[in-house]
């Protein structure tokens, strides 16, 4: 086995993506350095909201802390804001903005910091324009990095369509687990799965869980555009365990199924 010697200390918000990836392979070390790595990134804006600092403010805070300032002091923040304002006057605007909020919130979720994660999610719901459209939930694109009060407002396609939703799942060590303990064929062959049902069928999946201990597969779907549908074309729930099954729909037990493989027309 190759021994990896690596120390990760971010110098820019872009390196948060590296932090998430490093955690997948060196997870035993990352939690102990998380407080240092995240210093200057976040600002407790209110009791339940956490703001993401701008790159210039982030660098200014870390610069002051290197000189002995208290990272949690109001005076440090005040001085850092003044420094960042001066730096902004001479800093050219980049034509491309990295998905900083998306990288950040994914990293925090992977590290399992629920306080910061919930605060960032609250910030996203308050300032990043959450939107439902044709059954899809996303955060609308916005090229403005901050508002006049210093609240992070920039949303890129990666952040708005994928990263925040991923972080909301909130599975600590989620990607690390996928790398370290991937599912094997013998594990998944005994589980039921859903086949050939997607948004094109007019449905959205609200819940899905397989309880192997009790042998229960729970699945909740609904039409994403609120239309009533009586069936889903070419849909199936496939069960590969040689056992008897009950199909329960809308609180009613419909039939006992002795066959190991079957398809179900979904009525809802």
- Kindly report, residue by residue over 246-257, the tens digit of the pLDDT: 555 554 444 444
Residue 79 lies in a domain: yes
In angstroms, the CA 266 to CA 231 distance is 5
In angstroms, the CA 238 to CA 190 distance is 10
pLDDT grade for 190, boundaries at 50, 70 and 90 = confident
Residue 152 lies in a domain: yes
* Same domain, yes or no: 191 and 139: no
Residue 1 lies in a domain: no
Using the Cα atoms of residue 245, residue 247, residue 251 and residue 254 in order, give the sign of their dihedral: negative
* Same domain, yes or no: 101 and 159: yes
* Same domain, yes or no: 103 and 127: yes
* Same domain, yes or no: 109 and 234: no
Total number of domains in the chain: 2
High-pLDDT (> 70) share of the chain, %: 69
In angstroms, the CA 113 to CA 170 distance is 9
Structural domain of 242: 187-257
* Same domain, yes or no: 191 and 174: no
In angstroms, the CA 134 to CA 153 distance is 24
Domain boundary among 146, 178, 210: 178
CA-nearest of 53, 45, 30, 41 to 172 is 30
65 Rama class: left (phi>0) / alpha (psi -120 to 50) / beta: alpha
Residue 264 lies in a domain: no
Residue 95 lies in a domain: yes
Instruction: Name the DSSP class of 199.
Output: G
Provide the whole-model pTM: 0.71
What pLDDT does 268 receive? 35
Tens of pLDDT along 160-169? 999 999 999 8
Instruction: Name the DSSP class of 238.
Output: E
* Same domain, yes or no: 53 and 159: yes
What pLDDT does 182 receive? 87
* Same domain, yes or no: 169 and 208: no
Judged by DSSP in three states, 56 sits in helix
Domain boundary among 126, 153, 178: 178
- 242 has pLDDT over 50: no
Residue 10 lies in a domain: no
Cα torsion through 19, 24, 25, 28, rounded to 10: 80
Domain boundary among 156, 178, 200: 178
* Same domain, yes or no: 217 and 149: no
- Helices marked H in the chain: 15-25, 30-37, 55-66, 74-90, 100-111, 114-127, 157-158, 164-169, 174-180, 185-188
Residue 267 lies in a domain: no
* Same domain, yes or no: 207 and 90: no
* Same domain, yes or no: 41 and 147: yes
- 29 has pLDDT over 60: no
Residue 2 lies in a domain: no
* Same domain, yes or no: 29 and 140: yes
* Same domain, yes or no: 111 and 217: no
């Amino acid at each position: 086995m190759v021994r990896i010697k690596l120390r990760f200390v971010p110098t820019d918000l872009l390196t948060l993506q590296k932090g998430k990836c490093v955690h997948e392979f060196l997870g035993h070390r990352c939690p102990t350095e998380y407080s240092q790595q995240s210093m200057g990134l976040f600002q407790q804006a209110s009791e339940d909201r956490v703001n993401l600092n701008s790159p210039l403010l982030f660098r200014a805070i870390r610069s002051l802390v290197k000189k002995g300032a208290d990272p949690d002091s109001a005076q440090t923040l005040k001085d850092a804001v003044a420094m960042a304002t001066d730096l902004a006057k001479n800093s050219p605007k980049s034509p491309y903005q990295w998905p900083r909020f998306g990288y950040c919130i994914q990293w925090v979720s992977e590290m399992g910091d629920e306080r910061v994660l919930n605060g960032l999610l609250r910030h996203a719901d308050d300032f990043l324009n959450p939107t439902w459209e044709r059954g899809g939930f996303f955060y609308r694109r916005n090229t403005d990095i901050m508002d006049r009060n210093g609240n992070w407002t920039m949303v890129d396609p990666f952040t708005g369509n994928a990263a925040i939703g991923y972080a909301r799942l909130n599975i600590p060590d989620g990607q690390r687990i996928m790398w370290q303990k991937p599912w094997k064929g013998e594990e998944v062959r005994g589980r039921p799965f859903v086949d050939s049902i997607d948004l094109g069928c007019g449905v959205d999946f609200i819940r899905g869980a397989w309880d192997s201990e009790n042998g229960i597969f729970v699945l909740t779907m609904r039409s994403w555009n609120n239309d009533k549908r009586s069936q889903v074309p070419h849909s199936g729930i496939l069960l590969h365990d040689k056992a008897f099954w009950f199909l329960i729909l809308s609180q009613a037990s419909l039939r006992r199924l002795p066959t190991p493989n079957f398809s179900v027309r979904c009525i809802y």
